[in-house]
Structures are given as structure tokens and as C-alpha cells.
Amino acid sequence: MSHISDEKIPNNVNLTEDKKLQRALEQWQPDFLRWWMDMGPSGFQAHQVYLRTAVGVDANDWAHYDFVKMPDYRWGIFLADPVTDRRIPCGDSVGQPAWQDVPGEHRNTLRRLIVTQGDTEPASVEQQRMLGHSCPSMYDLRNLFQVNVEEGRHLWAMVYLLHRFFGRDGREEAEELLARRSGNEDHPRILGAFNEPIDDWLSFFMFTMFTDRDGKYQLLALAESGFDPLSRTTRFMLTEEAHHMFVGETGVGRVVQRTAELMRQAKDGDVRRAGGVDLATLQKYLNLWYSLSLDLFGSEVSTNAASFFAAGLKGRVKEEKFQDHVALEGAYPMEIPDRTGQLTRDEVPLRSAMNEVLRDAYVEDCQRGVDRWNKFLADAELSERFALPSRRFHRHQGVFAGLFFDPQGKPLSAEEWERHKDDWLPSAADRTFVKSLQAKAIVDPGKMANWIAAPPRGINGKPIEFEYVRAEA
């Protein structure tokens, strides 16, 4: 196992050898904890929770499972092991030694990328803070808290970079990361999806399926950064991220399974009356969180994306799989809308299309998850299927923002959109219904709410009926 310290801030970055940095982070730590107590999971801060804690970066031995009160969670700073003689993987400086320090000319851009990434982590904790009061099982409650503490650790990962490499500006940004608030009109989080409410468990599962998966792709792109500390940090964050997407994909999958079961049982086929979530409502929640997450990739045509790539600050997923790492030649064919939504084919210079290249990989990954949900429907001999809506549907960033399209991608007038939007996105009534299923938290070990199937197995070899969250001190 790589070196883990018993210090106040567990780390594998030799914090004791940089007293100034250590002091700065130890000063930020109580502010983080205050934020966690104010904005972290409501109602369970004194409970013992069966959590995994990152204790190192060895592939087989990086996590430790035990009961811990969330405020005592040991949020640490862990960078993946360095790659010997690592080179800048893409852009104008491809092949040069990777930067171990921030190049002056990229300082502001890098800071902005790190702050944008960092901001999403506490935002998601804020969005999810009330969910413990309506959990469908103790197993799910534990998974929620696991995701929450790890998003907290991801914030630490970005704050480490800010403190270590960006001096006073970095420390100020670190304070701001604790000051913005998800959904607050005056001081919101930076990106759209992170200001949306997540106040029911279906939203939580869709968010961890689709929005955490955006996280995966953004982190994969940053793992290709020529700024080596950012690459190493994000590579280790990806290890934790896999579980968040597992929670989302299997969470929705279990709802689908239960719905299929209720459809077969209910004589009149009325799933809602049988206390389940009907397939149409599931599709609407999918449409919402998928489209909000597509926005997180930025515009289809982006000079920002081109300059991130040119500078070697952000690459493509597994850059080594591409032949040409400079991307000055070649074009990406795209359908670009005019002001009425009519599409014309255009050739976008490859560098300017990097957001779209990343989005392509993401869409494919989402489709694989949806296919697995559809397999549950097929297994239950149901003919309905889920589908990802068109990338043009319900967009607020990029070339389709401000225009209206149906889930198949057909242009609509504003009036048509208004008339149909409740058919495609959760309506106020749908949300009220979903919440009504979750009015009461289910906390008897092993028991599941009526609207969701039990998972096939528990956490870390423990049984499903294990008491994952305990009230005693």
C-alpha cells in the first residue's frame, strides 16, 4: 500500500513537507466542516454509517470499509501514482514534458477549469441534502451518504490544487467554493444542472446515472491534461466515480424491475394505483436529467474547447487511442440550426468541436445503460422501451438553446412546445406523485419501499439486511 499518513488531512502528497500549504489547508478544513454541517446530509450527521474511505491509490487496496459518523469521515488528498516521463498528450505542445507546475500563460484558464469542476462537487451534496428523510431502504440511504462524502472528497481534491498552485487567488477561490449555494438566486453554483432541485429519489438515481456520468467524461478529459497534478488527481477521482454511476444505473434499474412486476400483477395495469412509478414517468425523468447533463458539455461549436485542447489543458477520452493529437486538420460534420430550428449540415474544425467529441462518447455510454434497463422490460415480456431523447431536445447551452425540439429532434414552435412539454418532462403533478410514494423513509434493515426492487446483493459482501446506518453513538 502506498504511503498513508495519520495526519489531520490524510494524503499521499507529502503535506508535512510543505508547512505553508499544510497550514493553509488546515485553515480551510474547519470552514469545510462548517459547510458540511450546514449543507451536508440533513438528519444523519450523528449516525454511524458503513462507509468506504479512500486510504491510498493502490488498485486493489485503496479503500477501507467501516462505521464512521459522517463529520468524522477522513477526507483526504490522493493523487494517482505519477507516470514516469509523462508527456503532454495533445495540442500545440504535444510530446513536451508534462507540466509539474502551472505555466504562466495558462494560469487563468486552468484555475477556471479547476474551479468549475470543483464547484459541482459541493453543489451535488447541497442538492441531495434532504433525501435521507425519504429513503427507500437503509441500503440506499448508505449509498446516498457514500456518494455525498466522496463528492466532498472531490472538492478537497480541487481545493488542494487551488491552494498548492494558485497562491492567494487559489485560496480565495477555495473559500468561494464553500460560499456559493445550489439553487440560490443571488449566489448560485456555476453550471446549470447543479442548481436544479433533487428532492426525490428518482431524481437522485437519474442524476447519478446521467450527471455523475458527465463527471466521468469531464474527468476523463482532464485526466489527459498536460498539467500533471490535475491529471493525477482526476485519475484517482474516477476510481470513486464508478460507484456513483453504479448507484444511479442500478437504482433506476431496480425501479424498472419493480414497475414491470407491478404491471404484471395489477389487474387493471395501473402501476400508479399499485404504488409504483409508471414507465411514462420514468421516461420523463430520464428526458430531464439526460438533457440537463448534455448541457454540461458546453457548446457544440466552442472556441473555449478549441483553446483548452490547443493548450493541452483538456484532451479527449483516452487520447492515446487517437492517431492525430494535434487536431489542426479535419472537420467534424454537424447539424446546425438556424433561428427557426431548421438544420443545415456544417463542417466544424475539429478543435472547435471537442465538446461534441466528448459528448459523443458520453451519449454512447448512456445508451449502454438504457439498453440494460430495456433488457429488464424484455425479460418481463413487456413491449415498451426507454429511449434517449434527441440531443436537440430541451437544451439550454449550445447551438440548440432557445429553440424547441421534440424528443425525436423535430423542430417545434414555442406554442407546440408549451402544449406538449408536460408529456415529455416531469409535470408538477408527476413530481407530486413521485414524492407521494416516498412520503416516509424506510429504515428497517432489509426492507424496501414498494416502488423499488431489492438489489441483488449488499455492500462489500455484507447482506442486504445489514444495518448500514445506525443511530447509536
Grid cell digits, residue 337: 440550426
Q: Does 225 bind ligand BYC (CB under 6 A)?
A: no
Q: Does 430 bind ligand BYC (CB under 6 A)?
A: no
Listed residue (442, 450, 464) closest to 132, CA to CA: 442
Distance CA(206)–CA(129), nearest Å, equals 16
**Interface segment toward Fe ion; rule CB under 5 A; list 51-59, 192-200, 234-242, 366-374:** 234-242
Cα-based torsion angle of the residue sequence 287, 293, 298, 301 in order, rounded to the nearest 10 degrees? -40
Of 115 and 262, CB closest to Fe ion: 115
Q: Does 153 bind Fe ion (CB under 5 A)?
A: no
Question: From Fe ion, ligand BYC, none, which one binds at residue 113 (CB under 5 to 8 Å depending on kind)?
Answer: ligand BYC
CA quadruple 298, 168, 240, 470: dihedral positive or negative?
Answer: negative
| Phi (first) and psi of residue 372, to 5 degrees | -65, -35
Question: From ligand BYC, Fe ion, none, which one binds at residue 134 (CB under 5 to 8 Å depending on kind)?
Answer: none
Site mask for Fe ion (CB under 5 A), range 210-229, x = bound: --x--x--------------
| Phi (first) and psi of residue 223, to 5 degrees | -65, -20
Q: Does 117 bind ligand BYC (CB under 6 A)?
A: yes
Site mask for ligand BYC (CB under 6 A), range 347-386, x = bound: --------x-------------------------------
- The amino acid present at 378, given as its one-letter code, is A
Q: Does 244 bind Fe ion (CB under 5 A)?
A: yes
| Phi (first) and psi of residue 83, to 5 degrees | -95, 125
Grid cell digits, residue 298: 458546453
Listed residue (210, 199, 209, 215) closest to 151, CA to CA: 215
Of residues 389-418, those binding ligand BYC (CB under 6 A): 397-398
* Selected binder of ligand BYC within 192, 275, 349, 455 (CB under 6 A): 192
Of 248 and 276, CB closest to ligand BYC: 248
Distance CA(224)–CA(380), nearest Å, equals 42
Q: Does 254 bind Fe ion (CB under 5 A)?
A: no
To ligand BYC, the closest distance from the beta carbon of 436 in angstroms equals: 27
| Greatest distance between any 2 Cα atoms in the chain | 69
Query: CA 21, 23, 29 angle in degrees (round to 5)?
Result: 105
Q: Does 298 bind ligand BYC (CB under 6 A)?
A: yes
**Helical H runs in 79-137?**
107-127
CB distance 401 to 301 below 8 Å: no
* Selected binder of ligand BYC within 166, 205, 210, 297 (CB under 6 A): 297
Of 237 and 464, CB closest to Fe ion: 237
Q: Does 257 bind ligand BYC (CB under 6 A)?
A: no
Write out the residues near Fe ion by the rule CB under 5 A: 121, 151, 154, 212, 215, 241, 244
Q: Kindly list the residues in this chain that would bind ligand BYC in the complex (CB under 6 A).
A: 113, 116-117, 120-121, 124, 151, 191-192, 211-212, 214-215, 218, 295-299, 302, 304-305, 355, 397-398
